[in-house]
Each structure stands twice: as structure tokens, then as C-alpha cells.
Structure 1
Amino acid sequence: MKKGRVFWSILKRTNTDKIAAGFGVYFLVSAFFIMLVEPGIHRFGESVWYCFSVVTTIGFGDFTAVTVLGRTASIVLGIYGVIVLALIPGVVASYYMEVVKIRARESAEEFLYKLEHLEEMSREELRELSEQVKKVKLKK
């Protein structure tokens, strides 16, 4: 559950939640539109299933668009879906990498600060600093 909250938190901070919500609305509107114009798709659930197969590029073939309007809507939905489905993981990964860089920079700044103020540190603080240096050496 926590991972889902972190994911949505990242989307919200990067305003990608608006893109996801917009896509969700467009998906449902497209499903409704497809249901209206396609003679072989009679129920909204069938239309949602068709739109899902278009967006995921699975294309099961159990429902197909035969009208020009339905095919055009399918093309637009497919392109929009590919863009959104590629964009969101990229934003999340980029955000995560920025967080990692910031934490590393803060950690390095703190470490350098301690090195510059060795004479002010207690024996316990010096011992902790020594352990940190040993951990860094072991990682290399």
C-alpha cells in the first residue's frame, strides 16, 4: 500500500497526475464514443475492453473498429496511450534519480563539514566518522 502512495505522491509533485487523470477521462470518453459509432460493439464494457486492447497494443481481435470514425478514434487513443504509458514511468524514474542525487550531495556535504571540523568533534563522533570512511572504502 505504501508503494502506491509513494507513486501517487511522485505523480502529484510532478503534476503528472493531471496527465494520468486526463488520459483516464479521455479513455472513458473514447470508450463511450466507440460504443456509439461501432456496429459490432454494443455495450460499454465491450467498448472499454476494446479501448484497453488498443491502449496496451495487445489487440486481441475479438472487437475491431470498422467505421472511419471508430478507426480514427482508435488511432488517436492508441497514440495518446503509448505516449502517456511511456511518459509516466520516465517521470517517476527521473524524479527518483533526482532524489538519490540530492541525498548523495547532502550526505557528501555533511561528510565534508565533519572533516573540516575534526578538532571540534568528540571521540564518539570521530569513531562514527571513521566507521563511515571504512564503509566507503569497502564499497569501492
Structure 2
Amino acid sequence: MRRLRMLVEIERQAGFGPITCLFIVVFLLCSLAVWLADPVANTFGDGMWFSFQAVSTIGFGDVTAAGPVARIATVLLSVVSIFYIALITGVVVSYCNAMLRQRQEGTLAHFAENLERLDEMTPDELAVFCERVKEYRRGR
């Protein structure tokens, strides 16, 4: 449960929710533009399939951007998707770093380091250290 809370906090700090909503809106608008402006896309599903190919860089080629509106939509969607995928990568890396930091803080070596510098700790650091000791003693 703690890991899930940590992931949610990282996503919140990164602004992942609003950016995901923006990405979905851009994706759907570009799909609509391809469907309406490109003669090869016969259905909205074709427009979405084309947009998915552009985002994922699969590029099967069964639906292609032939008209200028569809090409502009493809460029826009490609640029937005690059930033969105970079955000996803950043959230994953932040989560992994937080997990490693949490593991390191729970090690005996870290505990020993804190014991050696008790006299240097601020009252806030001492309070946090005391809480960790209590959690450790409770078996968490």
C-alpha cells in the first residue's frame, strides 16, 4: 500500500493526471482530423488507428496521411506524444529512485550512520529517526 501511495504522490507532483487528459484530447482531435480530412481513413476507428500508429511509431502503413490536414495532425500528435512518453519515463524513474532510497533508508548501515551522528541531528531529524526506530521495532 505504501508503494502505491508513493507512486500516486510522484504522479501528482509530475502533473501526470492533467497532462494525460490533455494527451487524450489531442489524440482524439488528431484522430478526428485524420478521419475527416484524409480520404484513406473511412471511419473514426481508422483515424484512431492511424493516431495510435503515430504515437507508438509502429507505422504499419495500412492507413497513411495523404492530405495536408492529416499530415499536420500527425506532426502535432508526434511532438505531443514524444513529451508524454518522456513524462511516463520520468515518472517510472522517479518511482524506482524513491523505492531505492526507501530501501537504503531501511538498512542497518543507514541506521548505524544515524546513530553515529545523533548529536548533530536537528530536532526534526531526531523525530523522524525515532519514528523509523518505532516502525522497525513494530516489524514494518
What TM-score comes out, normalization by structure 2 length? Answer: 0.66
For 1:112, the equivalent position in structure 2 comes to 113
Shift of the 66–8 alpha-carbon distance from structure 1 to 2, 3 Å rule, reads: farther
How many residues align structurally?
A: 114
- Within 2, Cα distance between the matches of 1:13 and 1:7? 11
Any unmatched runs of 5+ in structure 2? 119-140
**Root mean square deviation, CA, Å:** 2.8
Which region of structure 1 is more displaced relative to structure 2, 82-91 or 5-14? 5-14
Distance change (3 Å), C-alpha of 1:95 and 1:8: closer
Between the aligned residues of both structures, percent identity stands at 30
Partner of 1:124: none
- In 2, Cα distance between equivalents of 1:25 and 1:66: 23
| Deviations 1:56-92 (CA, angstroms, capped at 9, x unpaired) | 1111110111111111111111121122112211222
- Compared CA separation, residues 45 and 6, structure 1 to 2 (3 A): farther
- When residues 115 and 59 of structure 1 are mapped into structure 2, their CA distance, relative to the original with a 3 A threshold, is same
Letter in 2 for 1:30: C
The one-letter amino acid of 2:112's match is F
Q: Which residue type is aligned with residue 78 of structure 2? A: G
| Residue pairs, 1:73-92, within 5 angstroms | 73-92=73-92
Task: Give 5+ residue unaligned stretches, structure 1.
Answer: 118-140
